[in-house]
Amino acid sequence: MLLTGAQILVECLKEQKVDTIFGYPGGAVLNIYDELYKNSEHINHVLTSHEQGASHAADGYARSTGKVGVVVATSGPGATNLVTGIATAYMDSVPMVAITGNVPVALLGKDSFQEVDIAGITMPITKHNYIVKDIDDLADTIREAFYLAQEGRPGPVLIDIPKDITINKTEYVKKVPQKVEKREEIKDSTSLDEALALINESKRPFIYAGGGVVTSNASEELIQFAQTIKAPVACSLMGKGGFPGEHPLYTGMVGMHGSKASNIGVTKSDLLIVIGARFGDRVIGKADSFAKNAKILHIDIDPAEVNKNIMTYRHIIGDVQVVLKKLNSQLEEMKRKEWIEEIETLKIKHALKYNDDILSAQYVIEKLYDVTKGEAIITTEVGQHQMWAAQYYKYNKPKTFLSSGGLGTMGYGLGACIGAQVGNPDKIVVNIAGDGSFRMNLNEIITAVRYKLPLIVLIMNNHVLGMVRQWQTLFYGERYSYTTLDQDIDYVKLAESFGAVGFNVTKKEEVEETLKKAIEERRPVIINCEIDKDDKVWPMVAPGAAIDNIMLGD
Annotated catalytic residues are 51, 113-114, 163, 467
Nearest in space to 13 (alpha carbons), one of 37, 41, 42: 42
First to last CA, the chain: 72
Q: Which residues face 469 on adjacent strands?
A: none
Contact call for residues 156 and 127 (beta carbons, < 8 A): yes
Mapping DSSP to helix (H, G, I), strand (E, B) and coil, where does residue 82 land? coil
Residue type at 76 in one-letter notation: G
Length of the chain: 554
One DSSP character per residue, 445-473 reads HHHHHHTT---EEEEEE-SB-HHHHHHHH
Mapping DSSP to helix (H, G, I), strand (E, B) and coil, where does residue 221 land? helix
What's CA 415's distance to the chain center, in Å? 12
Would you call 90 exposed, middle or buried from its count of C-beta atoms within 10 A (0-12, 13-18, 19+)? buried
Quote the radius of gyration of the chain (alpha carbons, Å). Answer: 24
The beta strand positions in 223-287, using DSSP E, are 233-235, 250-253, 271-275
Contact call for residues 324 and 218 (beta carbons, < 8 A): yes
Using CA atoms, how far residue 480 sits from 210, 435, 463, 467, in Å, is: 34, 17, 13, 12
What's CA 231's distance to the chain center, in Å? 26
Helix H or strand E encompassing 97: strand 96-102
Nearest in space to 300 (alpha carbons), one of 400, 401, 215, 240: 215
Rounded CA-CA distance 154/147 in Å is 10
Residue type at 105 in one-letter notation: V
One DSSP character per residue, 505-540 reads E-SGGGHHHHHHHHHHH-S-EEEEEE--TT---SSB
